[in-house]
């Protein structure tokens, strides 16, 4: 099925239409050009439709995922596959990165058979301590100065345990780097890093710069490429 025929069959997509449905394998040709969505393929071949976000240069774009706006069916599918990919690392506790990573981390922890998970946060409570925090920036909120905190009361759940650090999307690697730096400040080295989507490969080098082994500990449900604009205005994988 070509990109154009897929869009015609699906019809114009509204913002609330995205990440709501799981399509059978090969419903959409991932090599075709698309105007408003990009079909991402899960490990078993099933597909979900992601909105295309044009970059400032006008020539490139990225596929976007917001897990806490996904349907329960999509969230469940992503969490089930991520839990299966993390299981070989035998994590004893899951730590979630705010904000969108918390939704996924909670569900993944359930899939792994855990009774709870540890949410990291950006809202400082009066019992938090600055020594257990690091600066945090986001690709979607670059002008906001935030800090990433771990609740001191949660440290006993993490110390000496096999920890999986989870975010919804790994893009530039900024949030994951903050999470790893915070874990290091707590004397914790995660055994694995999980995400629903690995957005291009931009995150790989920053993680390798932190430590060569980190990129090899990253697992994702699916990966999306950088997109380039075609002459007809559609977007295709670079």
* pLDDT on residue 59: 94
pLDDT at 8 over 90: no
pLDDT at 146 over 80: yes
* pLDDT on residue 13: 83
* Lowest-confidence segment of 63-72, 124-133, 156-165 by average pLDDT: 124-133
**Band of residue 238 on the pLDDT scale cut at 50, 70, 90:** confident
pLDDT at 97 over 70: yes
Cα separation values, 234 from 7, 126, 209, 229, Å: 11, 50, 35, 6
* pLDDT on residue 221: 97
**Band of residue 12 on the pLDDT scale cut at 50, 70, 90:** confident
pLDDT digits (tens, 9 = 90+) for 54-86: 999 999 999 999 999 999 999 999 999 999 999
pLDDT digits (tens, 9 = 90+) for 199-225: 999 999 999 999 999 999 999 999 999
Percent of the chain with pLDDT over 90: 81
């Amino acid at each position: 099925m070509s990109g154009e025929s897929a869009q015609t069959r699906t019809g114009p997509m509204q913002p609330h239409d995205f990440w709501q449905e799981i399509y059978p394998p090969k419903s959409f040709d991932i090599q075709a050009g698309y105007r408003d969505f990009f079909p991402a393929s899960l490990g078993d071949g099933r597909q979900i439709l992601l909105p295309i976000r044009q970059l400032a240069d006008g020539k490139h774009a990225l596929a976007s995922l917001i897990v806490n706006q996904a349907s329960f069916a999509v969230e469940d599918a992503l969490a089930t596959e991520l839990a299966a990919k993390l299981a070989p690392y035998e994590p004893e506790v899951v730590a979630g990165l705010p904000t969108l990573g918390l939704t996924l981390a909670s569900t993944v922890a359930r899939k792994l058979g855990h009774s709870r998970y540890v949410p990291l946060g950006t809202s400082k409570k009066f019992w938090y301590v600055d020594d257990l925090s690091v600066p945090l920036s986001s690709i979607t909120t670059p002008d906001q100065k935030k800090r990433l905190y771990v609740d001191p009361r949660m440290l006993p759940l993490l110390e000496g345990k096999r920890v999986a650090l989870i975010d919804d999307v790994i893009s530039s690697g900024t949030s994951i780097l903050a999470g790893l730096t915070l874990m290091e400040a707590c004397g914790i080295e995660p055994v694995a890093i999980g995400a629903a989507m690995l957005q291009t490969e931009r995150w790989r080098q920053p993680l390798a710069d932190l430590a060569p082994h980190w990129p090899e500990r990253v697992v994702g449900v699916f990966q999306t490429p950088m997109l380039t604009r075609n002459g007809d205005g559609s977007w295709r994988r670079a």
